[in-house]
Structure 1
Amino acid sequence: MNGAVEAANKNIKKIIEKVTVNYKDWHEMLPFALLAYRTSVRSSTGATLVYGKEAVLPVEVEIPSIRQRMARAFNKKVRPREFSPGDLVLRKVLHIAPDHRGKFAYKYDGPFIVKDFFDGGAIILNDIDKNENTIPVNADALKKYNP
């Protein structure tokens, strides 16, 4: 490509050369060299790379950073969805096959009755006729039904 992979491999090789005592034990030091490379600041970009994300420094825990401010702004807009057994809900329809009605197709299906809910956001639904749906539904795909 543009030599980025070769440059990264060259830097990792330099780190391994500095930490190994014998050339035969390079494979034992490879995880440590990768950690050092991923958490070091790049001079060209000024960023770090840890499994595709920025490394969090211990000082950032004490001092609010831009990352914490962004998380706070995101969490303000999150709408908590709380359901209890017996609530009437509508389930979002995921049109896997194209619907001939286009934009006039139904967006929600139901109503359903909440039978049980779990901590991770999964909810077991019953039909109005008390038939249980065995596949749990994510709470993001539900909204309360107001008749």
Structure 2
Amino acid sequence: MARAFNTKVRHREFNPDDLILRKALHVAPNSRGKFSYKYDGPFVVKETFSGGAIILSDMERTENALPVNADALKKYYP
């Protein structure tokens, strides 16, 4: 079972200065329901760690204090 699961897992690598989108994990009480945005961003990768944690900064290079798991990110291609 593990081998079948691992064949479908895509390896994603984020490098510093890559543009990415972060999954919107919050639901606002006045959101637009199923038409609300699924991702926030774009953000810039500031630093990556070996365990999959990534430090982000916004487009003005203001660094966010908390690291984000790589599972909640996807690359952004403008």
TM bin, normalised by shorter chain, reads over 0.9
Paired-residue identity, %: 72
Residue 120 in structure 1 maps to residue 51 in structure 2: yes
Alignment partners' CA distance in 1, 2:61 and 2:55: 12
TM-score (ref. length: structure 2): 0.94
- Unpaired segments ≥5 residues, structure 1: 1-69
The aligned residue for residue 40 of structure 1 is none
Trace 1:66-77 onto structure 2 (pairs within 5 A).
70-77=1-8
The aligned residue for residue 22 of structure 2 is 91
Between 1 and 2, higher relative CO (CA 8 Å, sep ≥ 6) is seen in 2
The aligned residue for residue 79 of structure 1 is 10
**Which one-letter code corresponds to 2:15 in the other structure?**
S
Once superposed, what is the RMSD of the aligned Cα atoms?
A: 1.1
1:119-147 Cα offsets, whole Å, 9 max, x none, are 11000001100000010000000000011
The structure in which a higher percent of residues are helix is 1
Larger radius of gyration: 1
- Unpaired segments ≥5 residues, structure 2: none
Alpha-carbon offset, residue 94 of structure 1: 0.6
The structure in which a higher percent of residues are strand is 2
How many pairs align? Answer: 78
User: What stretches of structure 1 move > 2 A for 4+ residues in a row?
Assistant: 95-100
